[in-house]
Amino acid sequence: MNRLLITLAVVALVGCETSPRASTPPDPAPRVSDPQEEKAPLLLSLQAAADKDGVLELQAHLKASGGVSLPVDLSVELPAGAELLDGEARQSVSVPPGRTTRSFRIAYSAPLAPIKVVAHVVHPDKAWGIHAEKLYPEPTKVPAYLPARPPPMARPPVLPLKTAVQPTKEAP
């Protein structure tokens, strides 16, 4: 009887070891790089395609998660010394779900001051709206937290004199 129980236990253990295992774990859910992208109804991003001999090819990408029912007013504000060669400075763009791109060719004199691109939507009864703006090139970012200056070096305390120091008389 004991032999039968031991044989059954060994067979059960061997059966567990030879059972096929899952080759790969299930894929995790895709992650979004920026949590604000999930919530934003409209995202504006800028990309410089080429910059040759003082001519910049700039692309404005509009990404709508669910589409925007009203047209988006897209405008490009150029700094002094820059001129728009191709594309419209102000245009109305319909943005279906997904990504919409508008291209601009801009002539500039060095150094290039920031170019501002603005996407703006306002409902006719002004009940809601969307506003996004980007600069190209983006200004350098200053950290939100700057560490405090180190404390000054320790100095010996200065004690007030209670009585004036009298010169000593010289001995004759």
Question: Number of folded domains in the chain?
Answer: 1
Q: Annotate 99-126 with b (16+ C-beta within 10 A) or e (fewer).
A: ebebebebebeeebeebebbbebeeeee
- 159 domain-assigned: no
Q: Does the pLDDT at position 29 exceed 60?
A: no
Within-domain flag for 94: yes
What is the distance between the alpha carbons of residues 118 and 78, in angstroms, rounded to a whole number? 11
Q: What pLDDT, on a 0 to 100 scale, did the predictor assign at position 3?
A: 63
Flag whether 169 is in a domain.
Answer: no
- Is 2 inside a domain boundary? no
Q: What angle do CA 77, 64, 89 make, to 5 degrees?
A: 20
pTM, to two decimals: 0.60
Q: H/E element holding 98?
A: strand 98-107
Domain contains 113: yes
pLDDT tens per residue, range 49-100: 777 788 999 999 999 877 778 899 999 999 998 999 999 999 999 988 888 9
According to the model, what pLDDT value does residue 25 have? 37
How far apart are alpha carbons 53 and 31 in whole angstroms?
Answer: 40
pLDDT at 107 > cutoff 80: yes
> What is the span of the domain harbouring residue 40?
36-136
Q: What is the CATH number of the domain that holds 107?
A: 2.60.40.10
Provide the pLDDT confidence category of residue 102 given band limits of 50, 70 and 90: very high
Q: Is residue 122 part of a domain?
A: yes
> Would you say residue 56 lies in a domain?
yes
Q: Are 57 and 103 in contact (CB under 8 A)?
A: yes
- pLDDT at residue number 140: 80
pLDDT single digits (tens) 110-168: 778 899 999 999 988 988 899 999 999 888 876 677 667 776 777 777 777 666 666 67
165 belongs to a structural domain: no
Confidence at residue 31, expressed as pLDDT on a 0 to 100 scale: 45
Position with higher pLDDT, 23 vs 36: 36
